[in-house]
């Protein structure tokens, strides 16, 4: 019995190959759906990529203000007034959505910037904290975009491989097995006919 | 009223000592200094020069210089206390308490934030010029221990504000009450002086300018003014105004507040602060208030050069010089160009 891809050309193998092809086609469909979903998710976040430069510009503008405040109150006062600010605690949450790793940052303890007794330093700290939160959002979004883009690339590659290599090769295999079976059936028929004819002639 | 010899002596000393202050044209050349090293080369005052000699040039930074400037500030105020006698000495002893208030503020902030603080982080006030033992105070564990240490001092009244401070997690109420106690004692001692009316008016104006900064600043930051409302009576007593006036200031919107000040004797503040309202910048407000007060007491001292007003002008000028030098040192360290440095 001949074989292709390590599969013998039998009816059992044909049935198995057809079952596998059906399964692969269904998987391809699911992967296609995932690819489309990831692509739309990615599109949703892509327009938020510009937020980084926006926040960076805010930080540059804020830096000028910060320098101005530092010059006005001096290092000693800055150091002294910032002592009242409590520690900031954060927790990193990891999620798995459709096999994609996503992270979120939760602020457990906010730094008590409102408690700063020097009003100039309080103003600076409040603004800096606001910008810090925006940066945190940007970081979370950028991380999501990176994870989605990486997954999109992988999924698209898998879908392509399935559609252009695996499925055609399975279709070839099935076609080959079917042809082989048909050939074998034909030769069996001819052989049977030949034997029957010889028996009849006797 | 005939002026006493000690009074004339003090006014003359203030005139003499004022020649040691940095002049406006000297500030211009200081602003143009390339860096911190050239800044200290340009400061020619004897009090500074002798201290700069002990500063290592290669490890020079703004914080080190600020400490030197603080030492000169303390020395000048203490020196003026030493040369005064009688009621002037009592007044000066009350006046130099502002250094003690600054140190108390630093300790309170460190203790509330549970941070380490040492005597080196404080202004070097000589013994005899402070009623608080800062050596002990820096080593206490908590804010409650600070409160306990204040029991035998004039600041015991501030103990009530410790609970509020702890509940809001800010030393602001304690700082506010300590300052109110300071001004209350200073006004009391100023009342016993000759030309007391003018002296009290100047001190009240200083207090009001600080108050205006706090009120407007808190409004700019959308912060609660409740901590201030609790102390309206002590603030009103210090300023010699009604509690309603203070409450009106606290409750009014920024633009209405300007109108209230405009109707008061503190209207000289307005040109310096009204243009800050649209931008709501606390830094600009701070600068405006400082400049306004400088213009105010400068004007009075020019009109009364042989009077207590001149002594106060000298004392305030010493502080403004400190503020300007701190500003210059920080600006030079950060490489800020001279045209962007705006001194008081």
Q: How high is the pLDDT of residue B101?
A: 95
pLDDT number for residue B14: 95
Which residue ranges in chain A fall short of pLDDT 50? 1
In a domain, A55, yes or no: yes
Q: Among B62, B121, B169, whose Cβ lies nearest the Cβ of A112?
A: B169
- Residue B224 is predicted with a pLDDT of 81
Which region, left, alpha or beta, applies to residue B195 given φ > 0 means left and ψ of -120 to 50 means alpha?
Answer: left
List the one residue out of B51, B62, B67 whose CA is nearest residue B106: B67
Does the interface predicted TM-score (ipTM) exceed 0.95?
no
Phi/psi class of residue A99: alpha, beta or left (left: φ > 0; alpha: ψ in -120 to 50)? left
Classify B35 in phi/psi space as left (phi over 0), alpha (psi -120 to 50) or beta. beta
- Answer whether residue A70 is part of any domain: yes
Q: Is residue A195 part of a domain?
A: no
Q: Is residue A185 part of a domain?
A: no
Per-residue model confidence (pLDDT) at position A5: 65
**Does the residue A23 lie in any domain?**
yes
* Nearest CB to B169 within list A69, A115, A122: A115
Task: Tell me how far apart the alpha carbons of residues B273 and B289 are, in angstroms, rounded to a whole number.
Answer: 7
Return the pLDDT at B229. 83
Cβ pair A74:B330 closer than 8 A: yes
The CA–CA distances, whole Å, from A21 to A14, A24, A31, A169 equal 10, 5, 15, 10
* B33 interfacial to chain A (CB closer than 8 Å): no
The pLDDT score that the predictor gives to residue B12 is: 94
What mean pLDDT do residues B13-21 have? 95
Please name which of B258, B300, B325, B327 lies closest in space to residue B21, comparing C-alpha atoms: B325
pLDDT, tens only, A88-128: 999 999 988 888 888 999 999 999 999 899 999 999 999 99
Q: Binning pLDDT at 50, 70 and 90, where does residue B228 land?
A: confident
User: Residue B45 pLDDT > 70, yes or no?
Assistant: yes
Average pLDDT over residues B334-344: 90
What is the pTM assigned to this prediction? 0.85
Confidence band for B92, pLDDT divided at 50, 70 and 90: very high
CB B86 within 8 A of CB B74: no
Nearest to B90 by CA among B77, B98, B99, B81: B81
- The predicted structure's pLDDT at residue A4: 62
What the block records as the tokens of A52 is 């980084």
User: Does residue A190 lie within any of the structural domains?
Assistant: no
Is B282 in contact with A119 (Cβ distance < 8 A)? Answer: yes
pLDDT tens digits, one per residue of B232-280:
999 999 999 999 999 999 999 988 999 999 999 999 999 999 999 999 9
For residue B5, is pLDDT > 90? no
The answer to whether the Cβ–Cβ distance between A83 and B115 falls below 8 Å is yes
Q: What is the mean pLDDT of residues B25-33?
A: 93
Could you give the CA distance from residue A158 to residue A176 in angstroms, rounded to a whole number? Answer: 25
Answer yes or no: do A84 and B169 touch at CB < 8 A: yes
Mutation target for A interface from B67, B68, B109, B336: give the one with most A CBs within 10 A: B109
Q: Which residue has the higher pLDDT, B59 or B303?
A: B303
A-chain residues near B120 (CB < 8 A): none
**What pLDDT score does A48 carry?**
85
> Using an 8 Å Cβ cutoff, are B267 and B212 in contact?
no
Q: List all residues 6 or more positions away from B134 whose beta carbon is below 8 Å from its beta carbon.
A: B103, B107, B119, B122, B125
- Do A80 and B121 count as a contact with CB atoms less than 8 A apart? yes
Residues B31, B33: Cα–Cα separation, whole Å:
6
* CATH number of the domain bearing residue A49: 1.10.287.3240
Which of B112, B113, B283 is facing A69, going by the closest CB pair?
B283
Residues 6 or more apart whose CB falls under 8 angstroms from that of A38 comprise A98, A100, A148, A151, A152, A155
Non-local CB neighbours of B120 within 8 Å, separated by 6+ positions:
none
The domain tally of chain A equals 1
Asked whether residue A108 is domain-assigned, the answer is yes
Q: What is the pLDDT of residues B130-145, one digit of tens each?
A: 999 999 999 999 999 9
- Residue B196: is its pLDDT beyond 90? no
Instruction: Residue A60: give the domain boundaries.
Output: 8-178
* In a domain? residue A186: no
Cβ-Cβ contacts under 8 Å, A65 against chain B: 283
Q: How far apart are CA B126 and CA B134, in angstroms?
A: 11
Q: What is the largest CA-CA distance in chain A?
A: 123
- Kindly state whether A80 is in contact with chain B, defined as any CB-CB distance less than 8 angstroms: yes
pLDDT at residue A2, as a whole number: 55
């Amino acid at each position: 019995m001949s074989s292709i891809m390590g599969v013998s050309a039998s009816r059992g193998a044909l049935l198995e190959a057809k079952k596998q092809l059906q399964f692969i086609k269904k998987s391809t469909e699911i992967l296609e759906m995932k690819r489309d979903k990831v692509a739309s998710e990615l599109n949703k976040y892509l327009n938020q990529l510009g937020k980084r430069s926006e926040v960076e510009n805010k930080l540059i503008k804020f830096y000028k203000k910060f320098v101005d405040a530092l010059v006005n109150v001096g290092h000693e006062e800055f150091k002294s007034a910032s002592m009242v600010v409590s520690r900031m605690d954060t927790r990193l949450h990891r999620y798995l959505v459709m096999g994609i790793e996503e992270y979120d940052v939760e602020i457990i303890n906010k730094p008590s910037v409102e408690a700063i007794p020097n009003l100039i330093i309080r103003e600076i700290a409040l603004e800096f904290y606001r910008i810090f939160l925006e940066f945190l959002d940007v970081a979370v979004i950028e991380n999501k975009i990176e994870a989605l883009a990486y997954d999109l690339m992988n999924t698209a590659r898998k879908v392509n491989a399935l559609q252009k290599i695996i499925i055609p090769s399975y279709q070839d295999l099935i076609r080959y097995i079917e042809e082989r079976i048909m050939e074998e059936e034909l030769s069996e028929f001819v052989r049977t006919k030949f034997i029957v004819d010889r028996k009849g002639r006797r | 009223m005939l002026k006493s010899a000690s009074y004339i002596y003090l006014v003359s000393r203030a005139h003499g000592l004022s020649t040691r202050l940095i002049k406006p044209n000297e500030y211009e050349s200081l602003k143009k200094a390339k860096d911190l090293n050239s800044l200290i080369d340009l400061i020619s005052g004897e009090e500074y020069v002798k201290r700069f000699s002990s500063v290592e040039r290669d490890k020079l930074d703004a914080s080190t210089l600020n400490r030197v400037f603080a030492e000169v500030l303390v020395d000048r105020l203490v020196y003026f206390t030493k040369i005064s006698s009688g009621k002037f000495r009592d007044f000066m002893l009350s006046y130099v308490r502002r250094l003690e208030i600054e140190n108390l503020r630093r300790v309170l902030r460190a203790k509330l934030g549970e941070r380490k603080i040492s005597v080196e982080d404080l202004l070097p006030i000589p013994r005899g010029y402070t009623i608080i033992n800062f050596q002990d105070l820096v080593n206490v564990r908590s804010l409650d221990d600070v409160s306990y240490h204040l029991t035998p001092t004039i600041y015991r009244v501030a103990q009530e504000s410790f609970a509020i401070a702890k509940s809001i997690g800010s030393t602001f109420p304690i700082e506010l009450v300590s300052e109110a106690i300071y001004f209350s004692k200073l006004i009391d001692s100023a009342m016993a002086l000759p030309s007391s009316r003018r002296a009290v008016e100047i001190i009240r104006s200083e207090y009001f300018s600080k108050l205006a900064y706090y009120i407007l600043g808190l409004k700019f930051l959308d912060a609660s003014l409740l901590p201030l409302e609790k102390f309206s009576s002590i603030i009103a007593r210090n300023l010699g105004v009604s509690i309603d006036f203070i409450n009106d200031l606290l409750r009014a919107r920024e633009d209405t507040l300007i109108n209230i000040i405009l109707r008061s004797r503190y209207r000289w503040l307005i040109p310096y602060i009204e243009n800050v309202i649209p931008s709501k910048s606390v830094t600009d407000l701070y600068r405006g208030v400082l400049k306004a007060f400088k213009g105010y007491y400068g004007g009075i001292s020019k009109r009364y050069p042989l009077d207590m007003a001149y002594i106060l002008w000298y004392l305030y000028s010493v502080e403004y010089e400190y503020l300007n030098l701190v500003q210059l040192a920080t600006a030079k360290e950060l490489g800020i160009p001279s045209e962007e440095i705006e001194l008081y």
